[in-house]
Structure 1
Amino acid sequence: MYIPTYEDMLEAHERIKPHIRQTPVRESDYLNQLTGAKLFFKCENFQEPGAFKVRGASNAVFGLDEEQAKLGVATHSSGNHASCLSYAAMKRGIPCNVVMPKTAPQAKKDTVARYGGKITECEPSTTSREETFAKVQAETGGDFVHPYNDPRVIAGQGTCARELVEQTGGLDMVVAPIGGGGMISGTCLTLATLAPETQVIAAEPEQADDAYRSFKAGHIIADDAPKTVADGLLVPLKDLTWHFVSNHVTEIYTASDAEIIDAMKLIWKHVRVVAEASSAVPLAIILKNKDAFADKRVGVILTGGNVDLDKLPWMAG
């Protein structure tokens, strides 16, 4: 197992800069007052495909040699990695095949299709996802770009924390959502060298809390098909992301779906940006555990903004 390094992150940043946006950092006086902390929201929802995952996807796609690139790339994803990999592949002009759960939001499927990704649907479980993907990859020969358990992806995601530290002049903590752990791992990778005094806090839905339980148990615990409004956080940790979580994360907090929806509304209203439920989990856990964040400078990574506007979680029915 290759563990990506800080130098890998720096190389990734140079490789992907022409293909991503340096996203802005937003503040809200109201949310600072509400939480008792000074919050800096890193708006990865402003990336062209609407999510941070374009960083890792672009690093993988543009790092391929010409021979492998001809066969394209392939992955499985509940949405944002699929759309971001499709986007990066489109920019390089190579094929992209993605396996998505049939329950994935239509907005995310539409985004994949818009960027030229070819979708194969599977049942909404990790088992079905991986079995279906094995068939697709055998047929296409595309380079497997795992949504998070891939050194190239983790190095790419780590570029977000580098920008955040440089944009804010230093932080006491950085909080990011955790599902499979790609963003958290990239954050750990970067901060361990760039700002070792900065704590890394992971935020997880209560209804998909396998990372929290893994963290407390000291080994990976995987759920096969959890259900939560935070649809981007349904997958379990793997060996590579567990390495970073177990060695560098300070704490994992959880929030209920109701708390996540409330936080999502607050971000829309007071940060004035479109954030999906998964990216609202950090604010939800900050509001729930105010004492842990009081008087701290806290970076909050808004990981994505791909929502189905006809099916917002606070709408009846």
Structure 2
Amino acid sequence: MSDIQEMVEDLSLLDSLATIFPDSSRTTLRRMLQAGRVEVDGEIIHSAKYEVKKGQKIRIRTRSEIAPAPVKKTAGGRPIEVLFEDEHLFVLAKPSGLLTVATDKMENNTLHSRAVDHVKRGDKKRWAYIVHRLDKKTSGIIVFAKSEDVKMELQNQFADRDVERVYHAVVEGELEGKGVISNYLREDKRLRVLAFDSKVGGSKEAITEWESKKKGPIYTYVKLIIQTGRRNQIRVHMADMGYPLAGDKEHGAQSNPLNRLCLHASKLSFQHPITGERISLIHNPPNRFLKLTKEN
């Protein structure tokens, strides 16, 4: 097959790719588009619905052309791990122990401050817009926007529960099976999160799906999917079940085997606000999580 294919009929870009790569699944072709590997007449196109006209030429870029050197530090020299980035948004992996944003104490080393440093590397006028947050003690995937409009579009998806959010955790105890926790959470005057079986003033619905993946005599490795994103939702829900997260002393944990909260945001899936494509990012939890079920 030639590196450049001239189209002989009008088709959507996804259908055009399907004619060029008949043995590839549509999922694979969409990933190719998301990765910026497809050019139409020299222009990189991300949208599967883009209309390719007869006579236009499609070129597939090699992986070496699109894969920049991984960014491991901000311009200021602080560590950063970029999972996905285009001109509209970017996705980072947050380490445990780092605030997402500054509190009223105005901390100057947060994931957001590192994100701002990152986008300003190429253009001092750019900014990183906060879409959602992870607790300081939680690690994993978090998305930032590069414009106010993209931020609002993404936040609407979170509010409408159109974003898939998967976590992995280690809980104390032998937990089997799977289930759904649904109740209402509210913060008290001390900012503690309390759970209620029915709606009370100021409370918000919280829904967590859980599934035991690997059970040991002391710890259990658990997969969790949250339909809502309340503060400390997973921590409160699992503690109320009698299985607090390892390392979560605030919610009743008796141990801290890894010197951190054993909770990791491992998957984030959302619709790209500009291209309309589904973006799915996976960041595996630390191997030490699963090892806890084998070592004890």
Q: Taking structure 2 as the reference length, what is the TM-score of the superposition?
A: 0.29
Bigger helix share: 1
Bigger strand share: 2
Choose between structure 1 and 2 for higher RCO, CA contacts under 8 A separated by at least 6 residues: 1
Q: Taking structure 1 as the reference length, what is the TM-score of the superposition?
A: 0.28
Bigger Rg, structure 1 or 2: 2
